[in-house]
């Protein structure tokens, strides 16, 4: 055998990007807690600054621990490269930054994490960018929303909080026909359940804070590039296809080919926006990713069991989990996410807003936390917290109506989670 | 001829190649051909620059020649790296086959592909790589791209 067969996901989640430390032989990836790196000589320094060689310059740009995490996520997602940054929100800006300019827009799904809706509807306006929100099940509306100033299409694979599953191949085709990249936030599905790039996405973003790290310790984000988008096919992406004045006139796409977006993310994005991940965070996230497949299997098993129990309970109005036969997205989830529809869903409590608040207060095992993707099961009343800045109409569109609570199902004993919900529902609906 | 050469094949080419004629080299320090020439020189390849507009000048210690035919015969070129548009490749390959007796590899850069030229070279037993960059492949295969967070595809438990 001269060529080894492709490695499996479980092997890559442990080995990709890492090798024994060349200086010490340390088998686990060391935490390189340093800001600067010594250059071999003036020529080496010049080559690094000119991007003629790849190496470590300064930890705002690159760091050996973070580089291992970047390669690992890029490998698991099937991309050519990845840039890590300080949070999932930072990753979204890092993904949009090379594409956008004043007057340009992103066409985004209405079903997004509340914080993203606010970032896109309000904050990016200060850069002169804008977002157009559309129902991504209405493909004609998506096509109609894309105009000459559109530079990206954005959605989540399994949306937070609603249990909605985006038909990525269909949306990718629309974006492709319009000559703009599709960016998919794959935080809630993880590369174990979903590979947006294999389904046609050009870029993938993550909040690594969630399942990738897995136990609620550190915040982080990541942008993965598929390497497949042709930045030079039109004049829409001058920062990648034309001489970039912020890097002495370098043409990123011509110089780096399919690696252009990742080089741009380091050389312009991290250099000038500075939303850098720290090596400690990368270490915790690397530890988490080593067990990603095992945890995700248990997360989806538990989610399925809890969702089925809730659906059968008379105190519950409805459950939005794509893994349930009753979900309008069940067939799509089975086709696109054969290993499971994630572990994040909502349910509506009979008794509305007040019962929701009481339920959250009555749980002993579920934690009332504004996070998801933890080993611990979490609950939050989105309407009064994560989606609070939105109008009721926007809350409903995002799947965060006032009578709904969101669960992030952990990897505890499923029967214990059900017992906790059972007791709290009794109190809440008494 | 392949757009998807195996890592083993790329390693073999990059290990066995000593002298590269770089056709279409630029003197502009932000152009990819300049990058590649400089990088490969730093990695101890002998890079012979070819560009009719710059003939007679010197780049990284080597004289620039107007064409492959002008390279002195005592320089044993074993690879030609082409930085020209795809449609301009056939006459370059033709000249390479006629003038470079030690030629083993014709390499076309990212975005450069020419089936006719590739077939011509392969008929003479020459290895052809298209739409790739030897610098990027060298960086990927020998660990350097790893420092930038790129997917190198290299999995190893060895030091």
Q: B111 vs A257: CB contact, 8 Å cut-off?
A: yes
- Nearest-Cα distance to chain A for B95, in Å, is 26
Looking at the complex, does the CB of residue A59 fall below 8 Å from at least one CB of chain B? no
The neighbour count for residue B152, using CB atoms within 10 Å, is 23
Q: B38 vs A255: CB contact, 8 Å cut-off?
A: no
Looking at the complex, does the CB of residue A58 fall below 8 Å from at least one CB of chain B? no
pTM value > 0.95:
no
Domains present along chain B, CATH in parentheses: 7-148 (3.40.50.720)
Q: What are the tens digits of pLDDT across the range B137-146?
A: 999 999 899 9
DSSP structural state of residue A4: P
Q: Which CATH class is domain A292-428?
A: alpha beta
Q: Where are the domains of chain A?
A: 9-288, 292-428
The chain-wide mean pLDDT, for chain A, equals 94
Position with higher pLDDT, B1 vs A362: A362
- Nearest-Cα distance to chain B for A93, in Å, is 19
Cα–Cα dist A229/A236, whole Å: 12
Give A 225-244 residues with CB within 8 A of chain B.
243
The chain-wide mean pLDDT, for chain B, equals 94
Q: Write down the pLDDT at residue A394.
A: 82
Q: What are the tens digits of pLDDT across the range B55-102?
A: 999 999 999 999 999 999 999 999 999 999 999 999 999 999 999 999
Q: What are the tens digits of pLDDT across the range A7-66?
A: 999 999 999 999 999 899 999 999 999 999 999 999 889 888 888 889 999 999 999 999
Cα–Cα dist A59/A155, whole Å: 31
Upper half-sphere CA count for residue A187 (Cβ side, 13 Å) = 31
Of the partner residues B111, B136, B149, the one whose CB lies closest to the CB of residue A71: B149
CB A198 within 8 A of CB A224: no
Q: Chain A residues with CB inside 8 Å of B154's CB? A: 19
What residue of A is the nearest CA neighbor of B32? A255
Q: What is the CATH number of domain A9-288?
A: 3.40.640.10
> Sorting pLDDT into bands at 50, 70 and 90, what band is A389?
confident
Position with higher pLDDT, A394 vs A127: A127
Q: B156 vs A263: CB contact, 8 Å cut-off?
A: no
Looking at the complex, does the CB of residue A71 fall below 8 Å from at least one CB of chain B? yes
Give A 277-296 residues with CB within 8 A of chain B.
none
pLDDT(B1) > 50 = no
Cα–Cα dist A410/A45, whole Å: 47
- Nearest-Cα distance to chain A for B98, in Å, is 30
Cα–Cα dist A399/A114, whole Å: 10
Of the partner residues A53, A248, A249, the one whose CB lies closest to the CB of residue B144: A53
Q: Write down the pLDDT at residue A382.
A: 83
């Amino acid at each position: 055998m001269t060529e080894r067969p492709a490695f499996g996901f479980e092997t890559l989640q442990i080995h990709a990007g890492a090798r024994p430390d060349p200086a010490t032989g340390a088998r686990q990836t060391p935490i390189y807690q340093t800001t600067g790196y010594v250059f071999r000589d003036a020529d080496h320094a010049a080559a690094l600054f000119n991007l003629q060689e790849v190496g470590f310059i300064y930890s705002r740009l690159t760091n050996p621990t973070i580089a291992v995490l970047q390669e690992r996520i890029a490998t698991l997602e099937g991309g050519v490269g990845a840039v890590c940054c300080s949070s999932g929100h930072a990753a979204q800006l890092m993904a949009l930054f090379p594409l956008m300019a004043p007057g340009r827009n992103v066409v985004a799904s209405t079903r997004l994490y509340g914080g993203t809706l606010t970032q896109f509807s309000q904050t990016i306006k200060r850069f002169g960018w804008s977002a157009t929100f559309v129902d991504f099940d209405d493909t004609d509306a998506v096509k109609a929303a894309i105009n000459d100033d559109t530079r990206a299409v954005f959605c989540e694979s399994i949306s937070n909080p609603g249990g909605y599953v985006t038909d990525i191949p269909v949306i990718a085709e629309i974006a492709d026909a319009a000559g703009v990249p599709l960016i998919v936030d794959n935080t809630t599905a993880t590369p174990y359940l979903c590979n947006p790039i294999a389904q046609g996405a050009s870029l993938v973003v993550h909040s690594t804070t969630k399942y990738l790290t897995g136990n609620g310790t550190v915040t982080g984000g990541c942008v993965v590039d598929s390497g497949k988008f042709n930045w030079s096919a039109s004049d829409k992406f001058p920062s990648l296809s034309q001489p970039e004045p912020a890097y002495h006139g370098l043409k990123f796409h011509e110089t780096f080919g399919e690696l252009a977006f990742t080089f741009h993310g380091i050389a312009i994005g991290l250099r000038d926006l500075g939303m850098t991940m720290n090596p400690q965070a990368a270490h915790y996230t690397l530890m988490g990713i080593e067990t990603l497949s095992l945890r995700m299997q248990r997360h989806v098993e538990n989610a399925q069991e809890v969702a089925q129990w809730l659906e059968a309970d008379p105190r519950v109005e409805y459950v939005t989990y794509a893994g349930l036969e009753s979900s309008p997205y069940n067939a799509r989830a089975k086709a696109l996410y054969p290993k499971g529809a994630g572990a994040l869903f909502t349910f509506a409590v009979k008794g509305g807003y007040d019962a929701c608040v009481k339920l959250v207060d009555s749980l002993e095992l579920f934690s009332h936390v504004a996070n998801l993707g933890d080993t611990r099961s979490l609950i939050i009343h989105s309407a009064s917290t994560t989606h609070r800045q939105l109008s009721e109409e926007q809350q409903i569109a995002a799947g965060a109506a006032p009578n709904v609570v969101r669960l992030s199902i952990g990897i505890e004993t499923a029967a214990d989670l059900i017992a906790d919900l059972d007791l709290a529902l009794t109190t809440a609906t008494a | 001829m392949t757009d998807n050469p195996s890592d083993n094949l790329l390693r073999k080419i990059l290990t066995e190649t000593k002298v590269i004629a770089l056709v279409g080299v630029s003197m502009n320090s932000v152009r990819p051909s300049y990058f590649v020439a400089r990088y490969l020189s730093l990695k101890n390849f002998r890079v012979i620059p070819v560009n009719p507009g710059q003939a007679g000048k010197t780049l990284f210690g080597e004289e620039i020649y107007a064409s492959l035919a002008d390279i002195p015969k005592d320089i044993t070129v074993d690879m030609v790296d082409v930085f020209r548009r795809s449609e301009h490749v056939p006459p370059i390959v033709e000249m390479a086959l006629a003038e470079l007796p030690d030629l083993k590899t014709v390499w076309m850069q990212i975005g450069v592909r020419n089936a006719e030229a590739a077939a011509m070279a392969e008929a003479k037993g020459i290895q052809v790589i298209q739409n790739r960059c030897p610098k990027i492949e060298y960086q990927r295969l020998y660990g350097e791209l790893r420092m930038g967070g790129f997917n190198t595809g290299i999995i190893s438990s060895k030091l």
